[in-house]
Structure 1
């Protein structure tokens, strides 16, 4: 009986890890496609394309894997992990995972008017200040998009991206 309980617990844990990895992989693909459908100001179109992840989240690994084989236009993608917003430099994208969802408002303040796309995966992310927020609707991954927020920072959002998202 104890063996069965251990096996069941192991299967449950493995399944939740697998789900987290699948979610992170899917979100990293979404983020890469966002890059192709958003235009940054001219000053952001040279050098490396910088993506910053706040905290320790599985998406960091998935974005690192993606950066090894993909580019943002002609720019090499560089992914950085930070532990607090005081370490924030000037990324093209800042990703806030669920575990750091309470930091979205602070992140928006830290970014200010910089042309940084703020992406979150938290309850009411766009209401807290993110430009794009991952959600699940009817067991399907989707994203909310707040174009006014992104445009106020000089980001040009493709109408194709707007049409794919849930407008906020």
Structure 2
């Protein structure tokens, strides 16, 4: 793809994300929309969505040590996304809580985090990590059949756009409640075990 075409695609993709998110009040932060050298557009979009997911998720009070404890995001298998996400959340808060991003290894899957992003498309690896992720409440994946593997939210590419599916049963099992505003912009909402 030549540079001019790539730049127009990047602009179109970001504009599409802006329209999708604005319609639901899920606008990613402006900083996520500027071009960042070395981080693919898809990763930048997903990082912006992960940040926004926090604001549309009700975590139980027991998920925090105290009123000042941060919201913690763990990232496995996507170092570039973790770097971008740390940049996106820098200096921001959600519900008066700071946000902490931690790059984790597969062996750290059981770490206590509020949101765990599992990168990669290998369903066996993703299933193994998701099943070990007992310390995570909002598990987000990006592989085929991610919801069937146990994630709460799974990213998909639909018509060249980053979209996401949601499993309400997984959210309920993990003790979290997702806002109806988030559900209205989901590509698909799965209400029961499938």
TM-score, normalising length from structure 2? 0.70
* 1:108 corresponding residue in structure 2: 130
Change (3 A) 1:59 1:115: closer
Q: Which has the larger radius of gyration?
A: 1
Q: Structure 1 regions of 5+ residues with no counterpart? A: 1-7
Q: 1:91 aligns with which of 106, 113, 117?
A: 113
* Change beyond 3 A, Cα 1:19–1:147: farther
Q: Which residue of 2 aligns with 1:154?
A: 175
Q: Could you tell me which residue of structure 2 aligns to residue 137 of structure 1?
A: 158
Cα RMSD, aligned residues only: 2.5
Q: Distance in 1 between matches of 2:109 and 2:78?
A: 14
- Alpha-carbon deviations, 1:88-112, whole Å to 9, x = none? 3200011011256533222332234
1:32 aligned to 25, 47, 51, which one? 51
**Greater helix share, structure number:** 1
Q: For each residue in 1:108-129, what CA deviation from the matched residue of structure 2 results, as whole angstroms up to 9, or x when unmatched?
A: 32234x5510001111111111
Aligned to 1:48: 70
> Moved runs in structure 1, 4+ residues, more than 6 A?
none
Count residues with an aligned counterpart. 154
| Structure 2 segments unaligned to the other structure (5+ residues) | 7-35
The 3 A distance-change label for structure 1 pair 94 and 27 is: same
Q: Is the partner of 2:128 in helix, strand or coil?
A: helix
Distance 2:113 2:89 in 1: 15
